[in-house]
Homo-oligomer: A and B are copies of this chain.
Amino acid sequence: MRSAGRPSNRTGTADEILDVAERLVQHRGFNAFSYADVAAELGVTKPALHYHFPTKAALAEALVARYTERFTEARARIDERGGTGRARLESYIELYERVVAEDRMCLCGILAAEHPTLPEPVREQLRAFFDDNVAWLAGVLEAGRRDGSLSGGGSAREGAQMILATLEGAMLLARPYGDGTRFRIAASRILDDLGPAPKHTRALRA
């Protein structure tokens, strides 16, 4: 057992396995990484991994569960900090920028691409992840409309779906170019398009 509250870079083997596997999946995709890859990086053998995660399906479930949990916590921290709807949306986009900066794709985004090859439990986890994020974003859009920091009409839920699609798509399209510029362009336009008209380009609109 680890001592509570003490920083450590060894957080238990299962978590270390998830760390390496997560990075590999976000980089190459679920069908292009193997137990051998993870074992080699950790300096252990493949059966050691199977002890913690008997099957690749179980590993996938654990990966998505932890990723979803962390994402939920990150959204909660944004909510706790308070601020306008726009400020919360900016912080949320920041989460994605950090992923892109590490040359990764969103774990659930890359798994969505491989969706037909995944075990059913993971498919359900993916839907839950996207549903959670859409619901949270819809709340942010509504809050921003109330506090005047975000404009834009129509259903908040549909607006949330479009924002999530744009963020995931921008991560996807950033990959072949290797730098985060293309992601940031699309991300900043999300905010511009929801601007309450204080920005330069806004003045040009009808």
Contact = CB atoms under 8 A, between A and B. Distances in A.
A182 B177 CA distance: 27
A29 B192 contact: no
B126 A28 contact: no
Given A176-B130, A189-B158, A117 B170 contact: no
A121 interface: no
Interface of A: 27-29, 31-32, 105, 109-110, 112-117, 123, 126-127, 130, 151-154, 158-159, 161-162, 164-170, 172-173, 175-177, 182, 185-186, 189-190, 192-193, 196-197, 201-206
A162 B151 contact: no
A115 B167 CA distance: 18
Contacts of A109: 113, 169, 172
Given A117-B32, A151-B205, A172 B172 contact: yes
Contact of A165 (B126, B153, B173, B192): B173
A110 B67 CA distance: 21
A172 B110 CA distance: 9
A168 B165 CA distance: 8
Most chain B CB neighbours (cut-off 10 Å) among A130, A151, A203, A206: A206
A203 B153 CA distance: 8
Contact of A166 (B113, B154, B165, B175): B165
Contacts of A113: 29, 105, 109-110, 113-114, 172, 175
Contacts of A166: 162, 165-166, 169
